[in-house]
Amino acid sequence: LGDAVLEIVTSEYLFRKYDKMLEGELTKFRASIVCEPTLANFSKEICLGEYLLLGKGEDNSGGRLRSSVLSDAVEALIGAIYLDGGIEEARIFVESTLLKDVEERKLFVDSKTHLQEMVQKVSDFSVDYVIVGEKGPDHSKLFEVMAMHDGQEIGHGYGRSKKSAEQEAAFDAIKRMG
């Protein structure tokens, strides 16, 4: 339910705000906002993982940091707001939180490319991604990655795949760099 409410609210918002954008571009833009990594990142921003009731095994294997758990929690929260207060309350919540910095949310989807472009403007060194930790069983790993530039850590991230952890580390680096 929450994912459907999020899709409709986000679609309407983008349609109103970016009325000159082509339909295909709007679809990609919406997808970048309602995707798992973006929702998981938002969940971390509001510390939603701290309030989840998890089984002992899920909690011990890093469930509070797992993107799929966190993104599902955001969708459940939006669904609960909708059931409790209706579409307008859900719209107010989504627009005032998740969509308030919509350009930054769009950026998250391809943070690695954006970070590399930022770094290349000021340095000859590239960005490297180093896996510094792995938790959990093979079917449900949680990777910890550092984004490195010229031997220095510039960002840190977690993800269920190496790629998603790298994106999160790149996004963290972009936020640190301003």
Please identify every residue annotated as catalytic. Answer: 3, 75
**What's 124's DSSP letter?**
S
b (16+ CB within 10 A) / e for 132-159: eeeebeeeebbbbbbbbbeeeebbbbbb
Identify whether the C-beta of residue 123 lies closer than 8 Å to the C-beta of residue 149: yes
Question: Tokens 């969708």 sit at which residue?
Answer: 75
Between the CA atoms of 55, 56, 58 and 64, what dihedral angle is there, to the nearest 10 degrees?
A: 90
Read off the tokens for 23. Answer: 């339909």
E strands of the chain, at which residues? 127-135, 142-149, 152-159
The rounded distance, in Å, linking the Cα atoms of 35 and 26 is 14
